[in-house]
Amino acid sequence: MKPKSVAIVGAAETTELGKIPNLSQTQLHCDAALNTMKDAGLGPGDIDGIATAGESPTNLAMLLGITPTWVDGTSVGGCSFMLHVRHAAAAINEGLCNTVLITHGESGKSRVGRGGGMRGGGGGSSLPAQFEMPYGPAGPPTLFTIPVLRYMKTYGITEQQLAMVSVIQREWAAKNPRASYRDPITVDDVLGSNMIAYPFRKLMCCLVTDGGGALILTRADRAKDFPHKPVYIMGTGESVETPMVSQMEDFTSSKAFRVSGKKAFDEAGISHGDVDHLMIYDAFAHLPLYGLEDLGFCKPGEAAGFIGDRNTAIGGKLPLNTNGGGLSYMHSGMYGMYALQESVRQMRGIAPAQVPDAKISIAHGVGGMFAASGTVIMTNEA
């Protein structure tokens, strides 16, 4: 990093130390964070980066009212916070964020609300465990899907339009020999498939498969020495909103998508018309609708019509999820890697359903149930 380019301007510990049975582990993080913000004279709206270990940064963002453009959950043991400082310095120097909060809290003696995990610490006393789990959700098909009826009512979107997302992605999958499902389907097929969680039928839900993927990155000036056509990173974005879908600010739009997408576009310095190829993580059929709107390709409520008019289909002006997506290609649980792999194939010019002359591709991902988001804009032009 660049020496003396970044400084620590706030530092504080929890109000008490020793034995604190009246605060959960999560609240020890929050207590330390509040004291540190006060020490620096800052409020939640002044923080745009968050790093923590042993707790979900998404949980802290929701609790503390922070909208980050940079998040680090690196957790490698007791030295994690030294790594956070280093990563934060790099992020600040790179302009990914300006003001980073790094938190620690640990109920090491009283052991109140320990547990951890993506949806926040605390096991049976985590916030999702207390305020969502008792109502009978059975994983993503019953959580990720909850906002969609509000979206459909707000914009007058029909179940047929939702089903069309699956139909058009199957058309892409038909061109891909590695896709799990390749046979053509109709809107009636989708609506007639088994009801999972109304209004979501089986063919509106992603596959469950096995698989993996990996990437190697290096400096652009070295990239030409490698066997394949380099794919350059033009812009990136990230954010988190809440580990609880019930606490999403707006059920018709993802704040994490909007923040992540805008940051990536600003960094890349491109406009929507420059984009040749798009991947939007589609764990369920409504995600491409939210993604197209929150990334700014469509106005609110217009994505279903945009897809229905075949703009994202083969031969359309914005080819979307060209591998068949999580709905038809594969979905191992953390599908983001496969969206990235398809963007790289498109930029290398070797995709099974290659978009002719594609020069700029976006891979936009989601984490949890609208909890987190990451956006990567790539190009094959140096």
Partner 1 sequence: MPREFKRFAPTPSPETQHYWDGCKEGELRLQRCDQCEHTYFPPRPFCPKCASREVSIYKASGKATLWSYVIHHRPMPGFKPPYAIAVVQLQEGPRMMTNIVECEQTPEALQLDMPLEVRFESVSDDINLPVFAPAQK
318: left (phi over 0), alpha (psi -120 to 50) or beta: beta
If you ran DSSP here, which 8-state letter would residue 320 be given?
Answer: B
Residue span binding partner 1 (CB under 8 A) among the ranges 80-88, 125-133, 222-230, 345-353: 125-133
Binding status of residue 293 toward partner 1 by CB under 8 A:
no
Binding status of residue 127 toward partner 1 by CB under 8 A:
yes
Among 18, 41, 77, 124, binds partner 1 (CB under 8 A): 124
CB neighbourhood size of 22 (10 A): 9
Q: Can you read off the two tokens belonging to residue 154?
A: 């707000």
CB neighbourhood size of 156 (10 A): 9
Separation of alpha carbons 63 and 241, rounded Å: 10
Binding status of residue 27 toward partner 1 by CB under 8 A:
yes
Q: Are strands 100-103 and 200-201 parallel, antiparallel or unpaired?
A: unpaired
3 versus 45: smaller Cβ distance to partner 1: 45
For the bound state, the minimum distance from the C-beta of residue 45 to partner 1, rounded and expressed in Å, comes to: 9
Binding status of residue 149 toward partner 1 by CB under 8 A:
yes
Binding status of residue 205 toward partner 1 by CB under 8 A:
no
277 versus 331: smaller Cβ distance to partner 1: 331
Binding status of residue 232 toward partner 1 by CB under 8 A:
no
Among 48, 55, 132, 241, binds partner 1 (CB under 8 A): 132
122 versus 324: smaller Cβ distance to partner 1: 122
Separation of alpha carbons 373 and 232, rounded Å: 20
Binding status of residue 135 toward partner 1 by CB under 8 A:
yes
Separation of alpha carbons 191 and 184, rounded Å: 14
127 versus 275: smaller Cβ distance to partner 1: 127
Chain centroid to CA 37: 27
Contacts of 241 by beta carbon, 8 Å cutoff, 6+ apart: 58, 61, 62, 67, 248, 249, 254, 255, 256, 370, 371, 372
One DSSP character per residue, 85-106 reads HHHHHHHHHHTS-S-EEEE---
Among 74, 99, 142, 354, binds partner 1 (CB under 8 A): 142
For the bound state, the minimum distance from the C-beta of residue 290 to partner 1, rounded and expressed in Å, comes to: 14
For the bound state, the minimum distance from the C-beta of residue 307 to partner 1, rounded and expressed in Å, comes to: 21
Which residues contact partner 1 by CB under 8 A? 21-24, 26-27, 30, 34, 37-38, 43-44, 62-65, 112-113, 122-125, 127, 129-138, 141-143, 145-150, 153, 194-200, 244, 246-247, 251
